[in-house]
Structure 1
Amino acid sequence: MADFTSSQYFLNRECTWVKFNERVLREAIVPSNPLLEQLNFVAIAASNLDEFFMIRVAGVKHLVESGVKHIDIAGMTPQEQFDAIQEMVHKLVDDQYRYYGDIQQKLQAHGLHFIRVDALDDDQRLWLESFFEREIYPVVTPMAVDSSHPFPFLASLNLNLAVLLRRKQGDRSVKTAILPVPTSVIDRIIKVPDSVSPAGKQHDGQQFLFLEDVIAAYAERFFLGCDILEVAPFRITRDADLDIDDDAEDLLMEVEKSLKKRRKGAAVRLELASTASRIIRDFLRDELQLEERDVYAIPGPLDCKVFFSFVGIDGYDDLRYPPVTPQPSSELAAIDAPDFWSAIAERDVMVHHPYETFETVEHFIQLAATDPDVLAIKQTLYRVSSKSPIIAALAQAAENGKQVTVLMEVKARFDEENNIHMARKLEKAGCHVIYGIMGLKTHSKITLVVRREEDGIRRYVHLATGNYNGKTARIYTDVGILTANTLIGVDASAFFNLLSGYSDPPQWNKLAVAPLNLRETIYQEIDQEIAQAKAGKKALIVAKMNSLLDKYVIAKLYEASAAGVKIRLIVRGICVIRPGLPGISENIEVHSIVGRFLEHSRLFYFYNGGKEDVFISSADWMPRNLNERVELMTPVEFPPHKERIKRILKVYFDDNVKAYAMNSDGSYRYLADERQGKPVNAQDTCQRQAERLASERKKAARQFRKVVLRPRPAEEDK
């Protein structure tokens, strides 16, 4: 029997992530994507890359520098991983700016021009002179770098200008200086006012300047008496991983202390204008203690995240996706019940975001906050928007005298500061706030509402695959279920007792909880299919998730494939499994979808001899989710919901418009290039279905008012 854990059957995590970002970036050249959406994908890929360097590349560099003899899941040393990453990412960045150049040319055809300062006419130059003196000059602080002025600390991801200069008189040696670009207080993309040139010719379309180009053009204003020899934009990326002491007595204080350290992490990447001289390049590289391959020569504007704001420019709707509106919950509307609580008590309700509105979930919590019969609300929060109506509702509930318990995960990466602020706001309102658990991140998505009713206490529970964040719920695909199931309610109470006190884990009725029994539940489900396949019966696994990395779960999938189980995987990002290997994974197919919405839902289906076990979960199949996080996996037992999730999985696997299929070597092929039949776009299909159901409900309501509520004819009153 093959050793299914052998490194030859696995791909490197970091390389598969770069492959994922390649798929994201490729959307920038897909002709069916509107032009500004193509630019948006350039920005998304840039944002992804920033986080990748701050966390993953920084981690690999630490391993290399420390000399740790760590071998990864694919059998690669840290140095081999680092070399592979650098080679792939340099090519990715080259592609990114080639795509950007093509998009910029197409934008010009639509009247959107990014121009150089020297392209301005006389009237525009007069305006820019005034704008610079009024808005820019007072804000910028030049920083000399010499024996009296050591190289300053420059924050991660901030844009700066490196300046070479010499005095016009006296000492003529070349000196260096730094000009920070104040993008936090001045918009980086500056619209040039419409003007008429002296010749009377109206400019075609709209013109824009980059703030760094304006500062560079007026650099001599900051260094009077000097000649400016060269100005080059650059940007530093620093290690941003938090070092949390699990033995610290005060977790909140420990996170806040680590956040301060994050801002001063070691440099891991230098992005520098490709026009920069070797003098500037060597100067910055030496000061930052970076190697040559850590330097990325950028043939365009640094930090393409700037285009996130630009793609929403007014008046160009034809260059963006047609607007879509999240629809009301069709299931909730179909239940004939006097109120929200009665509807959920009658039957479970499933919501599919962003196709169905997240307001259903927000309403659930807001209603609980004001209902006099609600006694307690308990909720886990991982990522929450800064203006969340859920935070306001929880605060209101506490002020209304209800028992409110919130586990606010203050270790949610890059949301730490916002979560600490939100947690303190809740505490001030009277909520009991738990600041996470030492050694574990709480990544589960669950809300428990305890309500007194005529027949006693009833528990209402919301369980989901995504965060309680109304902003991301409009662009992330997620599934949630509202239920009054008694056994799930009992499990929910036990779950919160486990988080907030010293309670031992109970015998769970329905929920699977990481790191307690979630991994074992997954194994049991896979073993079930293996047994069916060995008995010559139908065996099928379909799973949708963000990432697939866990070595031992993958080994189980290999074992299942070798036994004859058909396995269909839909994995958006990191995926180290190798499908299609003879005798190992020939029954495994892997698809990945990159579309208008970010695929975030975790859905799992096991045929189980026709009984069909279906689950939703907060957890991906990664070691961190199964071993180091508090996660939940919830069985879906209501037959209509089982069928609904089966349909979702099917349409996603049938997608041949936005889907990629993975090859056994880790490469991907774009299924649209192979399409022969009818185009299937899973996201569009789900949106149309939500709109159709909502339309049918409205039509039924209108018909009810017309037929049932119409005034009776006069003769019927006799």
Structure 2
Amino acid sequence: MEKQASRHHVPKSIYINRDLSWIEFNYRVMEEARDLKTPLLERVKFLSIVSSNLDEFMSVRVAGVKDQIKAGFNKVDFSGYTPEKLFSRIVKKTKHMVAKQYAIHKEVIRELAREGIHFVDYDELNSTQQRQMENYYNEIIFPVLTPMAVDQSRPFPLVHTLGVYLAILLKKDADRKEDEPYFAIVQVPSILPRFVQIPTRSNSKKKEFLLLEQIIERQIGSLFSGYTPTAVHAFRLTRNADLTLNEEGAEDLLEEIEKELRNRKWGMPVRLEVEKGIHPYSLELLKEEFEITDNVVEISGPLDLSFLMKFSAALPDFDALRYPKHLPVYPREFDDADDLFEVLRQRDVLVHHPYESFEAVTDFLEQAAHDPDVMAIKMTLYRVSGNSRLIQSLAEAAEEGKQVTVVVELKARFDEERNIAWAKKLEKAGCHVVYGLVGLKTHAKIMLVVRQENNSLRRYVHVGTGNYNDNTAKLYTDLGLFTSNPDIGEDASALFNEITGYSSPYDWKAFAVAPLSLKDRLFERIRREKSAAAEGKPARIIAKMNSLSNQWMVDELYAASQAGVKIDLIIRGVCCLKPGVPGLSDNIRVISIVDRFLEHSRIFYFENEGKPEVWLSSADWMTRNLTRRIELMCPVYDPRLRGMLINILQISLQDNVKARQLQSSGLYSSVKNDLPEYRSQFKFMEIAGWKKAPEFF
């Protein structure tokens, strides 16, 4: 990674470009696939994640840059790049990334073979196996294939984004002279598994797999009677997948989004991936059709390695090649409690996922849904799992006559269709479903339960840093605060009133809420630390988040650093701040942790002259979070829970195994010190009580 610095020019700016910073993040993901200490099938999964990440980056971020170029926009952004210059640099860096990814892929394939897991070529099959694959093709694959010819009477068919296709050149058997070849395409069916297990001897422990496109390629002649295939090569197109919504003019936001989802398949082409060695005629025809010449990527291996995630999961007999399985522990405060409300009347509870179980959240809502004293439930939903107990509990609560209000964010990128389905189900059950405010995504994670107790109402609140999704809660590190604090409860009611009704700006007692107050509250606290440092008082900021890309926030941190504030930032992904620049950011350190679980929690610590403030938030320090979303930052009042959060931050800062430190060049390097190896996620496993956690070291 360090070698890149000498190859690529970095603009003279005090900021790092957001998109180039993201590319460096995906390199850190790829390091996990390369790391020999990572279990082999986990390395396979990380290779898949690199591909999925890059697909989304191309279809959203790079597509946006191409839109700017197409519109003739040529202004320099705050990091020193014009759209054309940035696009050129992105293409160069991502091509280098893909080349490196496929080099790692070849290494991983060789290591899988040593473990008895083989990807084979068709020519390696014996005659019996070839007959078996022919039968599989005739019975399973052939019926779902659709050959699509391209000629004067048949225009180029629609090529779906991110689908794998075969480009086929043919000659007519009756033709003797060398005419222009015939051209056709065939989609590799996404409805079928991308890999096919080849039957082996019953006593063999070896497992062999063949890629679906190889079977189709070998039998491709069956689709073109009277023609002879002369060249067959795979290609894949990435289209612009961002939604362009006219929310002001849409009478029904749900219908508007459904319409845009249908239009997504027609999005502007952004990237063309082709199999290495593709016939020049096919390549030129594809480039001309998709009008792509500047982002064509030759792939030395199977296109779209995202299938490796399912492949890794399809090997049940190879658990020794994975991280040991462990179930999250149930939070101790709730473990022996029959009544979660009784616990919360006595004290606040903090839950650290995935080390502690998300079941605490689903149990809390389930109890509320069936408790006769609960009057109302209000909740935001951004990304929900496919088979969610939360949705079921909300529906049951409404059916039992409770007032249930659910704010469903229909614009959660790539989860729009699922959220539309949930919204319809909840409305059918009798819930009041609200789609948020025009022009703003509702990204806050909050649940409010109103309960009648002793002739008065008490509010119980759950605030989270991550989505209400039981699947991702097993894979992402997030935090959830349960509380019955009256100020937090009042603010929760006010927040829902602002989202669902008409309310004047509210004087928040506890919360800071974007887009109106969150940014200013953060500025106030950064500036308070700056003033304290100028007066020689203790001054410290520790912030853990996913991304930092807002220029105003970066500038505030630079000013605080110049005043002497010690600042530690734990930022998993994009970071536009340059640390360690003399006279600018000497006092700022930035680390990123990429490990078994996706770091996702947002925690903000301010020293406050020895009276520390700690906040949990749904918001990263990005422009979209601070100005175009409904986000929430919630204080943690309980001193015991504040101490737990400070401990989480300190443990993260001590990581010298998976942590990478950001250099002022925009590149990352391993954290090097003489201390014993310290891996933060494994420490959290030990704290939660996961057995055998030390064996991971």
Q: 1:340 to 1:693 in 2, by over 3 A?
A: farther
SS at match of 2:74: coil
Q: Which residue of 1 aligns with 2:213?
A: 212
In the aligned structure 2, how far is the partner of 1:375 from the partner of 1:7?
59
Task: Check the 8 A contact 1:331/1:350 in 2, yes or no.
Answer: no
In the aligned structure 1, how far is the partner of 2:247 from the partner of 2:145?
41
Q: Pairwise mapping of residues 502-651 of structure 1 onto structure 2 (< 5 A)?
A: 502-651=502-651
CA deviation profile, 1:295-337 (whole Å, cap 9, x unmatched):
1101101110101111121100111111121111023348xx7
Give the one of 324, 334, 347 matched to 1:332. 334
1:243 equivalent in alignment to 2:209? no
1:485 equivalent in alignment to 2:485? yes
Give the one of 155, 160, 163 matched to 1:155. 160
In the aligned structure 1, how far is the partner of 2:36 from the partner of 2:455?
60
In the aligned structure 1, how far is the partner of 2:664 from the partner of 2:128?
60
1:187 equivalent in alignment to 2:193? yes
Q: Which residue of 1 aligns with 2:8?
A: none
CA deviation profile, 1:445-466 (whole Å, cap 9, x unmatched):
0000000112511000000100
Q: CA deviation at 1:114?
A: 0.5
Q: Which residue of 2 aligns with 1:11?
A: 16
Q: Which residue of 1 aligns with 2:465?
A: 465
Task: Check the 8 A contact 2:549/2:623 in 1, yes or no.
Answer: yes
Q: CA deviation at 1:246?
A: 2.6
Q: Which residue of 1 aligns with 2:67?
A: 62
Give the one of 131, 145, 154 matched to 1:126. 131
Q: CA deviation at 1:249?
A: 2.6
Q: Which residue of 2 aligns with 1:254?
A: 256
CA deviation profile, 1:360-419 (whole Å, cap 9, x unmatched):
000010111000110000000000012110000000000000000000000000000100
Q: CA deviation at 1:260?
A: 1.2
> In structure 2, what residue type is equivalent to 1:250?
D
In the aligned structure 2, how far is the partner of 1:10 from the partner of 1:134?
57
In the aligned structure 2, how far is the partner of 1:468 from the partner of 1:136?
38
Q: Which residue of 2 aligns with 1:175?
A: 182
Q: CA deviation at 1:138?
A: 1.1
In the aligned structure 2, how far is the partner of 1:564 from the partner of 1:187?
57
> In structure 2, what residue type is equivalent to 1:231?
V
> In structure 2, what residue type is equivalent to 1:290?
I
Q: 1:693 to 1:365 in 2, by over 3 A?
A: farther
> In structure 1, what residue type is equivalent to 2:74?
K
Q: Pairwise mapping of residues 64-83 of structure 1 onto structure 2 (< 5 A)?
A: 64-83=69-88
CA deviation profile, 1:471-529 (whole Å, cap 9, x unmatched):
00000000010000011111111110000001112111000000110001101110110
Percent sequence identity over aligned pairs: 46
Q: CA deviation at 1:280?
A: 1.4
Q: Which residue of 1 aligns with 2:685?
A: 687
In the aligned structure 2, how far is the partner of 1:391 from the partner of 1:509?
30
SS at match of 1:510: coil
Structure ID, larger Rg: 1
Task: Check the 8 A contact 1:140/1:182 in 2, yes or no.
Answer: yes
Q: CA deviation at 1:125?
A: 1.3
Q: Which residue of 2 aligns with 1:716?
A: none
Q: Pairwise mapping of residues 321-360 of structure 1 onto structure 2 (< 5 A)?
A: 321-333=323-335, 339-360=339-360
Q: CA deviation at 1:171?
A: 7.0
Q: Which residue of 2 aligns with 1:268?
A: 270
> In structure 2, what residue type is equivalent to 1:233?
A
CA deviation profile, 1:563-585 (whole Å, cap 9, x unmatched):
00000000000101000011100
Task: Check the 8 A contact 1:568/1:589 in 2, yes or no.
Answer: yes
Give the one of 141, 144, 155 matched to 1:139. 144
Q: CA deviation at 1:195?
A: 3.5
SS at match of 1:236: strand
> In structure 1, what residue type is equivalent to 2:189?
P
The 10-residue stretch of structure 1 (325-334 or 587-596) with the greater mean CA deviation from structure 2? 325-334
The 10-residue stretch of structure 1 (576-585 or 269-278) with the greater mean CA deviation from structure 2? 269-278
Task: Check the 8 A contact 1:251/1:438 in 2, yes or no.
Answer: no
Q: CA deviation at 1:694?
A: 13
In the aligned structure 1, how far is the partner of 2:16 from the partner of 2:381?
33
In the aligned structure 1, how far is the partner of 2:255 from the partner of 2:146?
33
Q: Which residue of 2 aligns with 1:715?
A: none
Q: CA deviation at 1:148?
A: 1.1
Task: Check the 8 A contact 1:463/1:634 in 2, yes or no.
Answer: yes
> In structure 2, what residue type is equivalent to 1:147?
Q
Task: Check the 8 A contact 2:235/2:272 in 1, yes or no.
Answer: yes
In the aligned structure 1, how far is the partner of 2:428 from the partner of 2:78?
46
In the aligned structure 1, how far is the partner of 2:675 from the partner of 2:589?
19
Q: Which residue of 1 aligns with 2:311?
A: 310
The 10-residue stretch of structure 1 (398-407 or 130-139) with the greater mean CA deviation from structure 2? 130-139
SS at match of 1:633: strand
SS at match of 2:13: helix
Task: Check the 8 A contact 1:242/1:258 in 2, yes or no.
Answer: yes
Task: Check the 8 A contact 1:351/1:481 in 2, yes or no.
Answer: yes
In the aligned structure 2, how far is the partner of 1:105 from the partner of 1:8?
43
Q: Pairwise mapping of residues 347-426 of structure 1 onto structure 2 (< 5 A)?
A: 347-426=347-426
TM-score, normalization by structure 1? 0.93
The 10-residue stretch of structure 1 (252-261 or 340-349) with the greater mean CA deviation from structure 2? 252-261
Q: CA deviation at 1:338?
A: 6.3
Q: Which residue of 2 aligns with 1:712?
A: none
> In structure 2, what residue type is equivalent to 1:95?
K
In the aligned structure 1, how far is the partner of 2:569 from the partner of 2:363?
34
SS at match of 2:687: helix
Q: CA deviation at 1:645?
A: 0.5
SS at match of 2:144: coil
CA deviation profile, 1:536-560 (whole Å, cap 9, x unmatched):
1111000000000010111000000
Task: Check the 8 A contact 1:444/1:618 in 2, yes or no.
Answer: yes
Q: CA deviation at 1:183?
A: 2.0
Task: Check the 8 A contact 1:330/1:693 in 2, yes or no.
Answer: no
> In structure 2, what residue type is equivalent to 1:97?
Y
Q: Pairwise mapping of residues 651-690 of structure 1 onto structure 2 (< 5 A)?
A: 651-671=651-671, 674-690=672-688
> In structure 2, what residue type is equivalent to 1:178?
I
CA deviation profile, 1:82-107 (whole Å, cap 9, x unmatched):
01101100000000100000000010
In the aligned structure 2, how far is the partner of 1:526 from the partner of 1:92?
37
SS at match of 1:10: coil
In the aligned structure 2, how far is the partner of 1:299 from the partner of 1:191?
22
> In structure 1, what residue type is equivalent to 2:45?
N
The 10-residue stretch of structure 1 (410-419 or 174-183) with the greater mean CA deviation from structure 2? 174-183
Q: CA deviation at 1:620?
A: 0.2
In the aligned structure 1, how far is the partner of 2:692 from the partner of 2:238?
47
Q: Which residue of 2 aligns with 1:23?
A: 28
Task: Check the 8 A contact 1:602/1:616 in 2, yes or no.
Answer: yes
CA deviation profile, 1:47-91 (whole Å, cap 9, x unmatched):
000000000000001111211123212021001110110110000
In the aligned structure 1, how far is the partner of 2:222 from the partner of 2:86?
46
Task: Check the 8 A contact 1:239/1:267 in 2, yes or no.
Answer: yes
In the aligned structure 2, how far is the partner of 1:11 from the partner of 1:431?
45
